[in-house]
């Protein structure tokens, strides 16, 4: 992978900074020498999510901004003075979107609109907006490129598709320098145990069995460090405004085969039990996702470097350092 431009000394805002990908992105930006403002959702506990796990040397270099992405004036204050904005704040749990679609519209669509309006008014030099491969629905052709039809099959995916189109419309209508980054399934340390890789690994580490919904769907997995590099390149590459660029490995694996591979990495027998509570509604299940990442290679000079087995080993090693009781409590929910 070619060297990218440094972000040293540049003022950067990251929304969704306390989450899985966001916290890794903030950490990488600090290491790159950027002046980072981390937008975290306000809470009475003053928790900053995964950013609380960073060492003091890194957190001392971060300006923390507590607020709510759904509140326009708050977002305005957060964006003011920022040269580059990475927008990752989103509700992401697909199952909950079936129960509370209005909350997803408020956060994922109206929240994105707040960010877009603020970036337009404050004249940021680049807005990197986060999409998801779920906007495609089940693949109509493979590998999926950026011209594949959009067919969101869950309220979550629909809100993300709507936010993407808003972002691109601001670029076309107002010249807002937007790049839409569309990661396929990202995994790695700090990911919620409700995601498929950590939930399989945690159940195996806790002695099994592994309770899963459908095991036939296939996914394209990218290690979080590689995904973060894609975000950084989207912020620094020239002439990419108005583009949608997806990040993926180009390799797919079924959930059943994935579980077998994780069991091999851990070195433990695998026994899968069907859990109907984990099954999506029939017409909502996305059966197949696999990326064509050639545009990312062309525009961003990006390609994933961490092979799946190595990434799984890193993820398992991280999970082993987490309290077993916490793992068991979370994946059982």
Residues that are catalytic = 156
* Token duo for residue 155: 């309220």
CB-based contacts of 189, cutoff 8 Å, min separation 6: 224, 314, 315, 318, 319
Nearest to 38 by CA among 73, 105, 89, 111: 89
CB-based contacts of 33, cutoff 8 Å, min separation 6: 6, 7, 8, 9
Whether 147 contacts 107, CB under 8 Å: no
Mind spelling out the 3-state secondary structure of 204-228? Answer: HHCCCCEEECCCCCEECEEEHHHHH
Work out the number of other CB atoms within 10 angstroms of the CB of residue 9: 10
Location of structure tokens 């807002």: 176
> Kind of pairing, strands 185-187 and 253-254?
unpaired
CB-based contacts of 41, cutoff 8 Å, min separation 6: 18, 66, 67, 68, 69, 89
Whether 258 contacts 216, CB under 8 Å: no
* Token duo for residue 54: 């960073």
Planar angle of CA 249, 255, 260, nearest 5 degrees: 100
């Amino acid at each position: 992978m070619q060297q990218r431009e440094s972000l040293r000394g540049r003022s950067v805002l990251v929304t969704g900074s306390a989450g899985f990908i966001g916290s890794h992105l903030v950490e990488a930006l600090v290491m790159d020498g950027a002046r980072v403002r981390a937008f975290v959702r306000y809470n009475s506990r003053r928790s900053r999510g995964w950013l609380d796990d960073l060492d003091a040397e890194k957190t001392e270099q971060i300006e923390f901004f507590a607020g709510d992405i759904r509140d326009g004036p708050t977002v305005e204050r957060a964006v003011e003075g920022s040269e580059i904005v990475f927008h990752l704040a989103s509700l992401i749990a697909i199952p909950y979107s079936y129960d509370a679609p209005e909350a997803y519209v408020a956060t994922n669509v109206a929240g994105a609109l707040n960010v877009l309006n603020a970036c337009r008014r404050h004249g940021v030099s680049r807005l990197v907006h986060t999409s998801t491969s779920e906007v495609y629905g089940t693949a109509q052709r493979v590998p999926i490129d950026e011209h594949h039809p959009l067919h969101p099959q869950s309220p979550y995916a629909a809100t993300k598709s709507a936010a993407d189109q808003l972002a691109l419309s601001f670029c076309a209508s107002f010249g807002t320098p937007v790049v839409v980054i569309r990661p396929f399934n990202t995994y790695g340390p700090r990911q919620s145990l409700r995601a498929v890789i950590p939930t399989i690994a945690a159940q195996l580490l806790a002695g099994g069995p592994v309770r899963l919904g459908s095991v036939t769907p296939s996914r394209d997995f990218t290690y979080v460090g590689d995904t973060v590099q894609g975000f950084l390149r989207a912020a620094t590459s020239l002439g990419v405004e108005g583009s949608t660029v997806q990040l993926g490995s180009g390799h797919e694996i079924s959930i059943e085969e994935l579980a077998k591979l994780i069991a091999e990495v851990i070195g433990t027998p695998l026994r899968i039990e069907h859990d109907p509570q984990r099954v999506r509604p029939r017409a909502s299940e996305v059966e197949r996702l696999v990326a064509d990442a050639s545009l990312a290679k062309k525009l961003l000079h990006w390609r994933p470097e961490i092979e799946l087995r190595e990434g799984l080993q890193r993820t398992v090693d991280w999970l082993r350092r987490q309290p077993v009781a916490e793992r068991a409590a979370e994946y059982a929910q």
